[in-house]
Amino acid sequence: MKLEIMPVKEGDVIQLVGIKHKYYFVKLIAGKVLQTHKGIIEHDEIIGKPWGSRVKSHLGNPFYVFQPSIADMLQDIPRNTQIMYPKDIGYIMLRMGIEYGQHVVEAGTGSGAFTSALALRVGDQGKVYSYEQRPDAQNQARKNLNKFGLLDRVDLKSRDIADGFDEEGVDALFLDVKTPYDYISQVRGALKIGGYFGAILPTTNQVIRLIDMLRRYDFAFIEVVETSLRYYKPEPERFRPVDRMVAHTGFLLFARPLDRDSMINADKNIDQDLDVVV
Amino acid sequence: MKLEIMPVKEGDVIQLVGIKHKYYFVKLIAGKVLQTHKGIIEHDEIIGKPWGSRVKSHLGNPFYVFQPSIADMLQDIPRNTQIMYPKDIGYIMLRMGIEYGQHVVEAGTGSGAFTSALALRVGDQGKVYSYEQRPDAQNQARKNLNKFGLLDRVDLKSRDIADGFDEEGVDALFLDVKTPYDYISQVRGALKIGGYFGAILPTTNQVIRLIDMLRRYDFAFIEVVETSLRYYKPEPERFRPVDRMVAHTGFLLFARPLDRDSMINADKNIDQDLDVVV
Amino acid sequence: MKLEIMPVKEGDVIQLVGIKHKYYFVKLIAGKVLQTHKGIIEHDEIIGKPWGSRVKSHLGNPFYVFQPSIADMLQDIPRNTQIMYPKDIGYIMLRMGIEYGQHVVEAGTGSGAFTSALALRVGDQGKVYSYEQRPDAQNQARKNLNKFGLLDRVDLKSRDIADGFDEEGVDALFLDVKTPYDYISQVRGALKIGGYFGAILPTTNQVIRLIDMLRRYDFAFIEVVETSLRYYKPEPERFRPVDRMVAHTGFLLFARPLDRDSMINADKNIDQDLDVVV
Amino acid sequence: MKLEIMPVKEGDVIQLVGIKHKYYFVKLIAGKVLQTHKGIIEHDEIIGKPWGSRVKSHLGNPFYVFQPSIADMLQDIPRNTQIMYPKDIGYIMLRMGIEYGQHVVEAGTGSGAFTSALALRVGDQGKVYSYEQRPDAQNQARKNLNKFGLLDRVDLKSRDIADGFDEEGVDALFLDVKTPYDYISQVRGALKIGGYFGAILPTTNQVIRLIDMLRRYDFAFIEVVETSLRYYKPEPERFRPVDRMVAHTGFLLFARPLDRDSMINADKNIDQDLDVVV
């Protein structure tokens, strides 16, 4: 069965791959041109062609129109702040069950990298509510979301989450803030019973405080993990790991709020449950 | 803004959480009952209630109706074969850009764990074409997909992929077979230019052969990684890593097919690109 | 140059390797016999032969007389307590500069595994002072040290280290106790200026408290690390990591006491120094 | 018991620690002076003082005379080539049972880092035979060994090991060369039965070839491991791993030669033995 390869539309973000695999991420806008190291390409040359097509620059050099994944696009995102890594984003979204159509709250927005991944995932039927107090970070995130064509799926808010979230009953809520343990009451207010709470934290001290607070607020299924990714040199004659790697991006913490009455008699020693989770 | 918590429908898979966080994964069918360690619960009691609701067994014990993530559900999947781990599934789907509405080929199906994750992700507008030659594995996968309500999004095929895939122009193609290097010509036939190829392989010998073959067949952006997950005991007074961990599930390999002409002049030494990818 | 292979002496611990590489660790005593799965061997048959020799059991089965390393011997050590792993022992001894002729303090003794490694290293010109309050642990350690022929290099003490160590001016001091931060004043009393302090600790909470205390007591060059070891299956056709690994044995902490006056003006932010250490 | 702190002698390598923990490694020679960032210090000021003493520069700034470990000294070693890391050296020496009084062969010498560690360990009763074909590397190694006062324990040889080693019956033999699998016959000639063979290799391809060759040459107890070291920031308020780490230095391979007749009936599937080794 031959699937119809969809045409590239105005507004799409493409990965334009040239000689020696050098590439550009570009949002297509009718009438615009792209300056490459190998000549100029008009966006109109690309719009309407199927993904995977070959186009040529005005100097005759070939380029290929690739459909990028969000993992590819995040490499290229302009940022003011530390952004989350694909190794963490992939696991977080799977662990928290973030899928098409969901409503998800996030704080802080930062440069919008994780926000973009969330917005892509929840699709046109879902919504991301993203809180950020620093105006410059929010502006950067807005630009990035707009570049990826995802801005309409995100509600960017510049509120202090100490005052609570506007939402109630969301499917998942993620905190990437310095003192997440200060907002657990607010988290409970926003997240549905059995929904997924997640956080990323650089230090063990923060994790310790957050676990303690989550237990007080009747969260269960608490899981703390670190992900890591080890790259190998893709050389068949000299196959080996690369020399250096990222050792730490943050501890990931997940938990789910129970109904407050339900904790009576509940066993708090759930460590052994982790064995199944592996 | 108070979001409407959706009601649980017949056919949904729920995670029913009881006292001490003991839980059951159940597919809801009108008229059926569930035997728990704390009494019997009728499915009809649950159908129509909002997610997060509390129900009681005939002995009066409370249970909570949680909406599970695919990572949760895969813990419980009946299997004949080694299944893929969430740590790998999360990264693979992010790396290969698998999102709502896509068409994806997979071989082999195995017990259908990764198939389930793919089917959930591509949604009701996408499709998974999954090849498996062992009838018992395919039967197991069919049962699992049916249990999760995902069977209609998957086309289960019992063909030898040496004869080629039926599909052309798919967005992504994943191989979890013993000798993936034997099918790269077939992969090229099925995958669109710039689409995502992925594979999981236990041994370095297999990886070496696969890299070599991908280079011959004009694949670019070859990336080989291992993911790992380190669990911590969530005890605030004694916060520490767990004693043992999974050391190896498989090497993950990703690549993208170029147009065959495009490799002329292409630099095959793309190792340094990896630095950006991290 | 042909080196003379030394003969095996009474009192030596040998690794007796039989068919299919099955082996026994035995301390040789004149007149004794060893029961193996392949027949009986008299110790007198072995004493006086060069290392590497072949001997036969009374059933005619061959055995080889191997000289074991301490890492080999520790596999076989009878224990009441968790013992330290070779991965940690090797790094600790290198990091703390433990060499021939030194005087080293250790607490607690435990089953004597690390004590044995220290005693072997400091040799017949050095000394290990090892503190332990649990009589059963100390007895076990005594037996193990005696078996390895190392007891005369160790001074086993059953004192509470809260009362201070008997020694002053030792080269290195290692703590494997629950609350090492309670004994740092005592450590300073025993260790020479610039000597090496080390500790192994399972939890982050303990590490945090110990770092804090070491800073107060004018220790410098504080280093916290975890070692890990990943085993591979030594199969040339299917070379790959083993499935499971030890994820955590303990955090290792190292530091060196400065003269108390010297800390004035000292920069406590020495993190960047770690870069050189890698 | 107050141990006598030994005096520093001419020829000793000291670690001279100044304000803010800045330090210098110096070999003491009567009549020489050291230029520091905080003034000049005469070696004669230091010689004869006990380890740990305080001395002052001509500007009145204090410095402390620390006794460095080999791990410390290797940080500072001038090198032409990649040197081995303490994480590997510590484990290799423990695993191969390298202790006081032994005779050890090594090839290649490189900059002499591992040679220095070996020479320190085998002491004045042992000997290291170190082969290197590149004259510049050997010269560098000679300077380093001389600086550490270890040159008299090392026999530096500039021979091609393809012609065999001069020694027979050594306790341990370590290869850090590109094609160790080409010299296994020569290794057998030099190493005593049951002695320890070790190698470090960057790529999986090399490891695969070496395992294969060792099996052909009747080596047993083959073990392949990678060590790793994860550093933590020693900050009690923000305790966390450092951001980046060394991902790969090399695979370590260990094995022991059996008597050639002994392999008859020997089980080559010794993987399960590894479980005990952990």
Q: How many residues does chain C have?
A: 278
Given an 8 Å threshold on Cβ–Cβ distance, is D247 in contact with A230?
yes
Query: Taking residues C198-221, what's their average pLDDT?
Result: 97
- Average pLDDT, integer, range D52-63: 93
- Position with higher pLDDT, A263 vs C245: C245
Chain A positions touching C208 (Cβ under 8 A) are 204-205
Interchain contact A240–D (C-beta under 8 A): yes
> Which pLDDT score is estimated for D220?
93
Q: Do B243 and C243 touch (CB under 8 A)?
A: no
- Whether C269 shows a pLDDT value over 60: the answer reads no
The predicted structure's pLDDT at residue D261: 59
- Integer CA distances (angstroms), B117 to B120, B139, D124, in order: 5, 17, 64
Query: Rounded to 5 degrees, what angle do the CA atoms B121, B127, B130 make?
Result: 100
Lowest mean pLDDT among A73-82, D24-33, D188-197, D229-238: A73-82
Which residues of chain B have a CB within 8 Å of the CB of A265? 19-20
Among A78-92, A253-267, B245-259, C195-209, name the one with the lowest average pLDDT: A253-267
The pLDDT value given to residue D263: 43
Instruction: Quote the CA–CA distance of A11 and A29 in Å, as a whole number.
Output: 6
Q: Which domains does chain C have, with CATH numbers?
A: 13-68 (3.10.330.20), 71-277 (3.40.50.150)
**What per-residue confidence (pLDDT) applies to A270?**
36
Residue indicated by tokens 């302009």: A78
Provide the pLDDT for residue D145: 95
Indicate yes or no: CB of B244 within 8 angstroms of CB of C241: no
Task: Give the best residue of C230, C242, C245, C251 to mutate against chain B (max B CB count within 10 A).
Answer: C245
Q: Which residues of C touch B245 (CB under 8 A)?
A: 244-247
Statement: residue B272 has pLDDT above 70: no
Asked if the Cβ–Cβ distance from C248 to B239 is below 8 Å, we say: no
A264 interface with D at CB cutoff 8 Å: no
Q: Which of C12, C13, C38, C67 to mutate to test the interface with D (most CBs of D within 10 A)?
A: C67
Q: Look at residue D275 in the predicted model and tell me its pLDDT.
A: 28
**Which pair of structure tokens corresponds to residue C224?**
């916290």
The reported pLDDT for the residue numbered B2 is 87
Report, as ranges of residue numbers, the positions in chain A whose pLDDT lies below 70. 261-278
CA distance D111 to chain A (A): 20
CA distance A76 to A25: 7
Residue D5 in this model has a pLDDT that exceeds 90: no
Span C39-67, average pLDDT: 94
Question: What pLDDT is recorded for position A82?
Answer: 82
Name the least confident of A42-56, A130-144, B9-23, C202-216.
B9-23
Rounded Cα distance between A45 and C42, Å, is 89
pLDDT, residue C43, reads: 97
Q: How far is A246 from chain C (nearest CA, A)?
A: 14
Q: What is the pLDDT of residue D21?
A: 83
D201 contact residues in B (CB cutoff 8 A): none
pLDDT at residue B178 tops 70: yes
Which chain C residues are Cβ-neighbours of B244 within 8 angstroms? 244-247
CA distance, residue C82 to nearest chain A CA (Å): 20
Any B CB within 8 A of D208 CB = yes
Query: In chain B, whose CA is at the least distance from the CA of D226?
Result: B247
Can you tell me the mean pLDDT for D59-69?
Answer: 93
For residue B273, the model assigns a pLDDT of: 33
pLDDT at A261: 59
**pLDDT tens sequence across C79-125:** 777 889 999 999 999 999 999 999 999 999 999 999 999 999 999 99
* pLDDT grade for C277, boundaries at 50, 70 and 90: very low
How many C-beta atoms lie closer than 10 Å to residue B66's C-beta?
Answer: 25
Query: Which helix (H) or strand (E) covers residue D64, if one does?
Result: strand D62-66
Q: What is the pLDDT of residue B264?
A: 42
Q: How many residues does chain A have?
A: 278
Kindly state whether A155 is in contact with chain B, defined as any CB-CB distance less than 8 angstroms: no
How many CB contacts within 8 angstroms connect chain B with chain C?
Answer: 53
Residue B261 banded pLDDT, cuts 50, 70, 90: low
D79 pLDDT higher than 50: yes
Residue of A nearest to C244 (CA): A278
Q: Quote the percentage of chain C above a pLDDT of 90.
A: 82
CA distance B273 to chain A (A): 9
According to DSSP, residue B271 is labeled T
Longest dimension (CA), chain A: 74
Which pLDDT value is given to residue D81? 77
Q: Is B239 on the interface with C (CB under 8 A)?
A: yes
D234 and C212 in contact by Cβ < 8 A? no
Decide if C242 and D274 are in contact by the 8 Å CB cutoff. Answer: yes
Q: Which residues contact C135 (CB under 8 A, 6 or more apart)?
A: C158
Whether the CB of B247 is below 8 Å from some CB of chain C: the reply is yes
Q: Is D7 at the interface with chain C, CB within 8 A?
A: no
Give how far D255 is from chain A: nearest CA, Å: 21
Residues with Cβ within 8 Å of residue B197, at least 6 apart in sequence:
B172, B173, B174, B175, B187, B191, B214, B219, B254, B255, B256, B257
- List the single best residue of D49, D124, D193, D222 to mutate versus C (max C Cβ within 10 A): D193
What DSSP assignment string belongs to B98-167?
A: --TT-EEEEE--TTSHHHHHHHHHHGGG-EEEEE---HHHHHHHHHHHHHTT-GGGEEEE---GGG--S-
Kindly determine whether residue A211 and residue B236, on different chains, have CB atoms separated by under 8 Å.
yes
Burial degree of D79 (CB within 10 A; 0-12, 13-18, 19+): middle
pLDDT of residue C263: 44
What is the residue whose two structure tokens read 């005052």? A163
CB contact under 8 A, B241 and C230: no
Collect all residues of chain B within an 8 Å Cβ-Cβ radius of residue A103: 3
Q: Does D79 touch chain C (CB under 8 A)?
A: no
